[in-house]
Amino acid sequence: MCRIGEARVPGPDSDTWTLGIANPSGLQGKNHVLDSVKADVLAISETHLSAQAKRGLAQSFRSHKSRFKHVLTGAPMAPRALQ
């Protein structure tokens, strides 16, 4: 772990939580990778997340009994048209 600035002396370890940040370039089929991140809260940057993909991610977390219980997103994108 790399600590910068004030984080070099972060204080006591009790009552702390961790934040994971990911930019996975598509979430389809990556729930097992996201679930392996050692974090209490996971912030994912996904610019093309549709409502269907959000439901799929939430369902995959539930079916794999992930510790991540809630999926909170911004406004969904329209699904991409198949060509």
Please indicate, yes or no, if residue 49 is contained in any of the structural domains. yes
pLDDT at 9 over 70: no
Range of the domain at 21: 17-63
Residue 56's Cβ-count burial label (10 Å; 0-12, 13-18, 19+) is middle
Is the whole-model pTM more than 0.75? Answer: no
Q: Which residues contact 76 (CB under 8 A, 6 or more apart)?
A: 49, 50, 51, 54
Domain assignment present for residue 44? The answer is yes
pLDDT tens-place string over residues 33-59: 888 888 899 898 888 888 888 898 889
Q: Which of 25, 18, 23, 28 is nearest to 68 (CA)?
A: 18
Residue 82 domain-assigned? no
At residue 11 the predicted structure's pLDDT band, cuts being 50, 70 and 90, is: low
In 25-74 the beta strands, taken as DSSP E runs, fall at 41-44
CA distance 14 to 3: 18
Flag whether 71 is in a domain: no
Total domain count for the chain? 1
In this predicted structure, the answer to whether residue 1 has a pLDDT above a threshold of 70 is no
